[in-house]
Amino acid sequence: MKNKIQNLYEKQEFAKEDFDLFYEFRSALNNGTIRAAEKIDGNWITNDWVKKGILAGFRMGKIVKMGSFIDKETFPVQDLTNRGNIRLVPGGSAVREGAFVASNVIMMPPMYINVGAYVDEGSMIDSHALVGTCAQIGKNVHVSAASQIGGVLEPIGANPVIIEDNVFIGGNCGIYEGVIVQERAIIAAGVIITSGTPIFDAVNNYYIPKEPGKPVVIPKNAVVVSGTRPLRSNPDFSIYCPIIIKYRDFASDSAVSMEEELR
Ligand SMILES: CC(C)(COP(=O)(O)OP(=O)(O)OC[C@H]1O[C@@H](n2cnc3c(N)ncnc32)[C@H](O)[C@@H]1OP(=O)(O)O)[C@@H](O)C(=O)NCCC(=O)NCCS
């Protein structure tokens, strides 16, 4: 599949067998059998050929009418019937073809899950949240209302955002540009993190290291809140700086505990 998709990406004109290949690729994304990124031996590996396959799908698809909507024929809204115990509450939400949604995921309207995204078991995607292209969301993750998990297609990014198992993303957060949030971390409401955002670990008293070409990693169990730091070029001013205020403890667990009845 990988080689065939690489070839498809190079093409400018498409025959029926190219569409058959693309639809096979898209079903594999729907089923979660291929992913834009996966953890191998403890490291997240980006499968850039998957992004190429998605881009090929945009190039090859004509714009068609879909009910009252108009979009590329290759990426209609996905039919989620016969999926394991999923609830998609009515009202302005969509899961695009080519996204994987595991069983017991809850999606509150309006929210949007874009192509290439992977949302694992038991996660909650709350109202006005976006799971961007190729973003990887682990098990039992809570993506709170109005949070934005950035995608790799636009603006163009090399690595997808990865949110590992049991992470809590508070309301109105933005996680962009290939940032990895490791297991059980808590991102407090309103925190924005991009690949260029310095993040201060106040527990260990250092800035999270940033190496060229490597993703920013929020360590597991970190509790990250909004803060400020002096502006390097002019310390009379302050600039936004997320701070790891502590590592997850009993108080944090209670602060983000969920209402089981709603699940
Ligand atoms: C981060 C959060 C979970 C609190 O975690 P916690 O482990 O209970 O934190 P604590 O109350 O023990 O506070 C620890 C420190 O962080 C500070 N702090 C806590 N939350 C903060 C926040 N959101 N912004 C800035 N500072 C914060 C506290 O003042 C305290 O610092 P201090 O000791 O210097 O005063 C909570 O603030 C939060 O953001 N919850 C998410 C709410 C939300 O988005 N819900 C979604 C509904 S859809």
- 189-203 per-position pLDDT tens digit: 999 999 999 999 999
- Whole-model pTM: value is 0.89
Whether the CA torsion 48, 52, 55, 57 is positive or negative: it is negative
Ligand 1, atom 25, residue with closest C-alpha: 225
Ligand 1 pocket: which of 125, 148, 225 to mutate (most atoms within 8 A of CB): 225
Residue with the bigger pLDDT between 15 and 64: it is 15
Of 41-50, 83-92, 178-187, 229-238, which range is least confident? 83-92
pLDDT band with cut points at 50, 70 and 90 for residue 261: low
Contact 138, 117 (CB under 8 A): no
Ligand 1, atom 36, residue with closest C-alpha: 188
Cβ atoms within 10 A of the Cβ of 253, count? Answer: 12
Q: Which are the contacts of 76, defined by CB distance < 8 A and separation ≥ 6? A: 66, 96, 97
Average pLDDT over residues 178-184: 97
pLDDT above 70: residue 16: yes
Measure 248 CA to ligand 1 centroid, in angstroms: 11
Ligand 1 pocket: which of 166, 169, 223, 253 to mutate (most atoms within 8 A of CB): 223
Cβ atoms within 10 A of the Cβ of 41, count? Answer: 5
Q: Tokens for 106, please give them.
A: 């809850």
User: Residue 151 is which amino acid?
Assistant: G
Write down the pLDDT at residue 168.
98
CATH of 2-252 among 2.40.110.10, 3.40.50.300, 3.30.1490.20, 2.160.10.10? 2.160.10.10
pLDDT band with cut points at 50, 70 and 90 for residue 89: confident
Write down the pLDDT at residue 29.
97
Measure 189 CA to ligand 1 centroid, in angstroms: 8
- 109-159 per-position pLDDT tens digit: 999 999 999 999 999 999 999 999 999 999 999 999 999 999 988 767 789
pLDDT above 70: residue 262: no
Write down the pLDDT at residue 263.
65
For Cα atoms 20, 26, 29, give the angle at the middle one, nearest 5 degrees: 150
Of 1-10, 148-157, 182-191, which range is least confident? 148-157
Cα gap 208→156, rounded to integer Å: 24
Q: Which of 63, 34, 50 is nearest to 152 (CA)?
A: 50
Cα gap 88→223, rounded to integer Å: 30
Measure 192 CA to ligand 1 centroid, in angstroms: 15
Average pLDDT over residues 18-44: 97
Instruction: For the chain, give the mean pLDDT.
Output: 94
Residue 24, classed as helix, strand or coil, is: helix
Measure 136 CA to ligand 1 centroid, in angstroms: 25
Write down the pLDDT at residue 154.
73
Measure 20 CA to ligand 1 centroid, in angstroms: 50
Ligand 1, atom 33, residue with closest C-alpha: 245
Which atom of ligand 1 is least distant from the CA of 254?
8
Write down the pLDDT at residue 44.
95
Measure 69 CA to ligand 1 centroid, in angstroms: 41
Residue 244, classed as helix, strand or coil, is: strand
Which atom of ligand 1 is least distant from the CA of 248?
7
